[in-house]
């Protein structure tokens, strides 16, 4: 089986639980460290799937790797190679597929409920789940591209996820581990404190409350989503 390409845009925003899920399911993967200057592949056909992780930058920034990343996403969709995006990764997917990315009404940092849309596409991805708690860290959001379907939303962000066939874009973070939450809190303490006026920004203490139990539930929900996504991989 060809490996899954996982694109990392910041050292602290690696694949997290997604890598654990792939390992547990015997699926090979290759990490491509954009943050370390690794070149983007020219051809998507070397991979069974593409996964884009988060990052502190905007997809609207004039960064040299963004145009080729958008092109890779379009190549993969055209070739029927599954694409999965987390936060920045979801925004890259939206822009590549004809959507737009811009400021969210408020910044979201911390835990918050996301609701599953009441349509058949959302049901295919999330089954009977109606809502769950996810982790958030973003100030921008995406529109829903043409032909894609909204699958997730939340009180403070109308577009938390969309699906297009075997491709899934998430604004929220499903890949979190306990270690990642603690690391992000340490790295992002200044951003957290400067964003406290937002009703969707938690304190560090609140984010880390009952953390092992929350991560366990998030991992279980992520496993269900990832299990559906890998159905589209060519074995």
User: What's the pLDDT tens digit per position in 137-196?
Assistant: 999 999 999 999 999 999 999 999 999 999 999 999 999 999 999 999 999 999 999 998
Q: How far apart are CA 195 and CA 169, in angstroms?
A: 25
**Backbone φ, ψ for residue 109 (5° rounding):** -140, 115
| Percent over 70 (pLDDT), the chain | 100
Strand partners, 86: 170
4-232 CATH: 3.40.50.880
Find out whether 202 and 109 touch, Cβ atoms under 8 Å. Answer: yes
Q: How far apart are CA 196 and CA 119, in angstroms?
A: 35
The arithmetic mean of pLDDT across residues 7-22, rounded, is: 98
The arithmetic mean of pLDDT across residues 79-104, rounded, is: 98
Record the pTM: 0.97
| 42 pLDDT more than 90 | no
Structure tokens at 182: 């603690």
What pLDDT does residue 171 have?
98
What pLDDT does residue 92 have?
98
The arithmetic mean of pLDDT across residues 120-142, rounded, is: 98
The arithmetic mean of pLDDT across residues 47-67, rounded, is: 98
Count of Cβ atoms closer than 10 Å to residue 139 Cβ: 15
Q: How far apart are CA 181 and CA 184, in angstroms?
A: 5
| Summary mean pLDDT of the chain | 97
CA distance to 47, 69, 72, 226, 229, per residue, from 235 (Å): 11, 24, 21, 16, 13
Count of Cβ atoms closer than 10 Å to residue 199 Cβ: 11
Going through the chain in order, the beta strands assigned E by DSSP cover: 4-8, 29-33, 49-52, 83-86, 101-116, 131-142, 149-153, 161-164, 167-170
What pLDDT does residue 68 have?
96
The arithmetic mean of pLDDT across residues 44-69, rounded, is: 97
What pLDDT does residue 234 have?
86
| 235 pLDDT more than 90 | no
Domain locations in the chain? Answer: 4-232
Work out whether strand 167-170 and strand 83-86 pair parallel, antiparallel, or are unpaired: parallel
Helices (H) and strands (E) in the chain, counts: 8, 9
């Amino acid at each position: 089986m060809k490996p899954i390409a996982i694109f990392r845009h910041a050292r602290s925003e690696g694949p997290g639980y997604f890598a654990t899920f792939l390992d547990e399911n015997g699926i090979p993967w290759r990490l491509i460290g954009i943050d370390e200057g690794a070149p983007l592949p020219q051809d998507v056909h070397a991979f069974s799937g593409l996964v884009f992780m988060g990052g502190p930058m905007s997809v609207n920034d004039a960064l040299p790797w963004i145009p080729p990343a958008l092109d890779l996403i379009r190549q993969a969709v055209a070739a029927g190679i599954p694409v999965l995006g987390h936060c920045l990764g979801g925004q890259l997917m939206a822009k590549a597929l004809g959507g737009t990315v811009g400021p969210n009404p408020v910044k979201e940092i911390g835990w918050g409920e996301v609701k599953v849309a009441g349509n058949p596409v959302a049901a295919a991805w999330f089954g009977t789940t109606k809502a769950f708690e996810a982790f958030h860290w973003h100030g921008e959001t995406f529109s829903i591209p043409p032909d894609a379907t909204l699958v997730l939303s939340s009180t403070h962000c109308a577009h938390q996820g969309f699906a297009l066939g075997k491709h899934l874009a998430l604004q929220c973070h499903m890949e979190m581990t306990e270690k990642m939450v603690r690391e992000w809190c340490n790295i992002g303490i200044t951003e957290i404190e400067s964003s406290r006026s937002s009703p969707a920004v938690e304190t560090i203490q609140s984010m880390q409350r009952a953390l092992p139990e929350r991560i366990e539930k998030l991992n279980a929900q992520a496993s269900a989503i990832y299990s559906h996504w890998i159905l589209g991989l060519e074995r």
